[in-house]
Amino acid sequence: MEMNLVFRNPGDFLFQRKYVAERSTEQRRCFFLDAASYDNLGDQAIALAMEWFLRDILGRENVTVINENDVLRYIRSLRKQIRPGDVIVLSGGGNMGDLYPRYEAVRRRIIRTFPDNRIIIFPQTIDYSNDDYGRNERKRAMCTYGRHSRLLVCAREERSLCQMQKLFREVILVPDIVFYLAGRISCGDVQPLYDCGICIRDDRESALDDATKGKLQQMASEGGKNWVLTTMAEEGAVCLDFDQRYREVSRKIREFARCRCVITDRLHGMIFSVIAGVPCIAIDNRNHKVSDVYHMCEEICRNVRLISECGPDMIPGLEQFVRVAEKQESSLPDTEALYRKLAGKIKEGTGNL
């Protein structure tokens, strides 16, 4: 086996120790270059599902995962390690657009740095604001992505598919990758402890007004109600490898399974409920990614009731839903069928490892 070690700066040595496994000169690899390294468990679930999926179709030994907080630090070392025949995959999620410029900037830098590699962006929602800043960012994205002749972008719902097809060369429709965890994280032994779990956003994506959020939080803290508040962004839940992600994401999904039902305006709160087999009221968010993913995957989301908007006057209806909700046996999706097209694209790029 040939290691091909060239340490011309300290970063090369640190990168080699932290990330790069021994490989032969003929071996093609898949590099996942921007795995989440922050405490959002929805994004950690994406990173977990992506690595699990890649290991299943390519073999664990052929997959290298770089955390997003390291990728720019080690970009020179990556240029030496990644060969033209290697495939690069980038994170799915909801950060393509102008709402999260840091993540968009990292993605564009990677695309510019590796013009000859097959690059696949996992299922994303795209969202540009309709103002001068949003229009300028859309043009910049079109320029950067459009110059790369081997870039494949996956849309996770129809609205994003239509927008992406106007901007990028090659686009396919693929469900959110977190559905891949269905059946891989078991909740069958979990017994309900709470009547209702509430998982609500507190950021710019939330469409709920302060009065509604306050009322929901008040209901969860009222005496006599067996309700519980939970969150997808827990301090200390930063995960930097597969085992840490599996532990934290499994813990959160099993926490959802301890509720007889869940009320959430978080997309991955809805998906965690599906995986846990828990009835869910899903409230749409500001850019409609909750409703868009729901409508694409309606057959999978049979235990979900979608609400397009929610105000204080709808609280009694939510309470009625909680009173009659019953935990269901999960109707888990056939994940091989859901992601067969994406798996084929990755195998094609790596020469059918």
pLDDT of 169-181, one tens digit each?
999 999 999 999 9
- To the nearest whole number, what is the mean pLDDT of the chain? 89
- Residues 6 or more apart whose Cβ sits within 8 Å of residue 253: 181, 185, 187, 272, 275, 276
* pTM metric for this prediction: 0.92
Same fold, 12-180+336-349 and 196-332: yes
Fold classification of 196-332 (topology level): Rossmann fold (3.40.50)
Q: Would you say 116 and 149 are in contact if contact means Cβ atoms under 8 Å apart?
A: no
Tokens coding 154: 């996956």
Q: Would you say 122 and 160 are in contact if contact means Cβ atoms under 8 Å apart?
A: no
Domain residue limits, the chain: 12-180+336-349, 196-332
Q: Report the percent of the chain where pLDDT is more than 90.
A: 72
Pick the CATH number of 12-180+336-349 from 3.40.30, 1.10.10, 3.40.50, 3.30.300: 3.40.50
Q: How many residues are given for the chain?
A: 353
Nearest to 250 by CA among 338, 196, 335, 182: 182
* pLDDT tens-digit series, residues 283-321: 999 999 999 999 999 999 989 999 998 888 888 888 888
